[in-house]
Amino acid sequence: MDTSIVTADDSVAELDRLAELAEDVIRRARSAGATQAEVSASVASGLSVNVRLGEVETVERNRDRGFGLTVYFGQRKGSASTADLKPDSVEATLAQACAIARYTEPDPCTGLADAGLMQTRFPDLDLWHPWGIDVDGAIAIGREVESTARDNAAITNSEGASVQCGDALGVYANSHGFVGRERGTHHSVACSLIAGKGDAMQRDGWYEYVRDAGDFPPFDAIGRKAAERAAARLGARRLSTRECPVLFAPEVARSLVGHLVSAASGGSLYRRASFLLDHAGKPLLPDFVDIVESPLLPRGHASGAFDAEGVATRESALVEGGVLRRYVLGSYSARKLGLQTTGNAGGVHNLVVKPGSIDGAAADQPAMLEDMGTGLLVTDLMGQGVSIVTGDYSRGAAGFWIENGEIAYPVEEITIAGNLRDMFMDLRAIGADVDPRSSILTGSILVGKMTVAGE
């Protein structure tokens, strides 16, 4: 069966076609009177297979295209997009963007990023590794992962195992003459299991997410880990309301760094909707904390030589010695704030959180548990109870109660609450147990004290 995944040779030609289309539309926008214009065009394709209880459940093929155009008539802006690349659709998109720009109002901060900031070097970041897997091959992997998981005696049911592979091609071009081509692959293997029966049922699982299928751990190990996580939740209890230290496991710790990024983002700042307003250059975390943006990491999940405006990305500290060194800005928010863009239009390109602790020692999770002594290990967070405006934090949690550095029993149906500003200042340690599945690369994070609400 043909999996219709773009092959390496096709991808270069396809990127050239996208670039040609983008440049052509920019030319046409200029002749329609636009003073500036920018285009994003993309093609993504993939295969997704789900296996449940040993049987194939779904086989999905996807091929998604996108074309987005923004035109500027002086300080007025209009945008339009379409989900196919047919000439008629692209032509209509141009007309719609121009029509909208007739109604939007002049905004002195609008426009492309400055021409001098455009990236000129395009190193190979090792992001392109098509996985030539066919449907039968994907099914076989799904079956192996799930059946290994179901070998665990605690597993009573399954939500199935999924195997996905995908590749994405993208071009960003603008009327400065910048044309950036990007191509990348992402593949995943996931499994979700049920342990226990009736009222005692618990669900958990595991997934792996890689650029190159060769980087997957052995598939049976993924199944085993997924099953162990579900089984470990059996017999979960509630806790009484209390204050205690909280250790965020790596798979949830990155959300804390994500909240920091949201609050330091230009959009939150110029809207005055951030608890980090006027905080650049000030201490935010204990002085052992360093967070560095590393856009050129080989095989990094968010690696890229340029941002969503073509601006060159560069390695740069976000937090150094606990001090918030800078904000996270694109050119629009930078102009609103009277600052320079930090090459973060569209977000951050990999954040590396350096392990460390108040007492200087870097550690893995068991050592951090020992260090914490008695407290809560959180492995799952629920809900959206985080305010970036005030820093108020209150989320549902599940995990394990820790006594004398060891797991005493699993816990559920509790909340953990605090204020992000206090929580950041109260960081005690960052583990060396880095979770590689995300563009935020952090280990476990220990917070000195939070309020746990329960029975």
Minimum Å distance from CB 214 to other proteins? 26
Largest alpha-carbon pair distance within the chain? 72
Q: Counting contacts by CB under 8 A, is residue 421 touching other proteins? A: no
Nearby residues of 316 by Cβ (< 8 Å), 6 or more positions away: 292, 293, 325, 326, 342
3-state SS of the chain? CCCCCCCHHHHHHHHHHHHHHHHHHHHHHHHCCCCEEEEEEEEEEEEEEEEECCEEEEEEEEEEEEEEEEEEECCEEEEEEECCCCHHHHHHHHHHHHHHHCCCCCCCCCCCCCHHHECCCCCCCCCCCCCCCCHHHHHHHHHHHHHHHHCCCCEEEEEEEEEEEEEEEEEEEECCCCEEEEEEEEEEEEEEEEECCHHHCEEEEEEEEECCHHHCCCHHHHHHHHHHHHHHCCCCECCCCEEEEEEECHHHHHHHHHHHHHHHEHHHHHCCCCCCCCCCCCECCCCCCCEEECCCCCCCCCCCCECCCCEECCCEEEEECCEECCCECCHHHHHHHCCCCCCCCCCCCCEEECCEECCCCCCCHHHHHHHHCCEEEEEEEECCCECCCCCEEEEEEEEEEEECCEEEEEEEEEEEEEEHHHHHHCEEEECCCCCCCCCEECCCEEEEEEEEECC
* Mode of pairing for the β-strands spanning 55-73 and 392-403: unpaired
Q: Counting contacts by CB under 8 A, is residue 61 touching other proteins? A: yes
Q: Which of 115, 382, 407, 408 binds other proteins (CB under 8 A)?
A: 382
The residue range among 258-266, 308-316, 431-439, 445-453 that interacts with other proteins, by the rule CB under 8 A, is: 445-453
Q: Which of 32, 394, 405, 421 binds other proteins (CB under 8 A)?
A: 394
Q: Counting contacts by CB under 8 A, is residue 313 touching other proteins? A: no
Q: Which of 124, 214, 272, 360 binds other proteins (CB under 8 A)?
A: 272
The residue range among 252-260, 271-279, 371-379, 433-441 that interacts with other proteins, by the rule CB under 8 A, is: 271-279
Q: Counting contacts by CB under 8 A, is residue 320 touching other proteins? A: no
Minimum Å distance from CB 447 to other proteins? 13
Between residues 270 and 288, which has the closer beta carbon with respect to other proteins? Answer: 270
Site string for other proteins, 88-127 (x = CB under 8 A): -x--xx--xx-xxxxxxxxx--x-----------------
Minimum Å distance from CB 80 to other proteins? 4
The residue range among 18-26, 371-379, 415-423, 431-439 that interacts with other proteins, by the rule CB under 8 A, is: 415-423
Minimum Å distance from CB 454 to other proteins? 6
User: Which of 198, 211, 121 has the alpha carbon at shortest distance from 436?
Assistant: 211
Site string for other proteins, 139-178 (x = CB under 8 A): ------------------x-x-------------------
Q: Counting contacts by CB under 8 A, is residue 45 touching other proteins? A: no
234-263 binders of other proteins (CB under 8 A): 236, 241
Q: Which of 23, 32, 42, 81 binds other proteins (CB under 8 A)?
A: 81
Total residues binding other proteins (CB under 8 A) = 80
Q: Which of 383, 404, 406, 409 binds other proteins (CB under 8 A)?
A: 383
Minimum Å distance from CB 242 to other proteins? 9
Q: Counting contacts by CB under 8 A, is residue 59 touching other proteins? A: yes
Say how many C-beta atoms besides its own lie within 10 A of residue 383's C-beta: 10
325-344 binders of other proteins (CB under 8 A): 336
Between residues 30 and 336, which has the closer beta carbon with respect to other proteins? Answer: 336
Q: Counting contacts by CB under 8 A, is residue 201 touching other proteins? A: yes
Minimum Å distance from CB 274 to other proteins? 9
Say how many C-beta atoms besides its own lie within 10 A of residue 106's C-beta: 10
Q: Which of 6, 18, 19, 80 binds other proteins (CB under 8 A)?
A: 80
**φ, ψ of residue 90 in degrees (nearest 5):** -65, -40
Between residues 101 and 291, which has the closer beta carbon with respect to other proteins? Answer: 101
The residue range among 196-204, 293-301, 312-320, 426-434 that interacts with other proteins, by the rule CB under 8 A, is: 196-204
Minimum Å distance from CB 135 to other proteins? 7
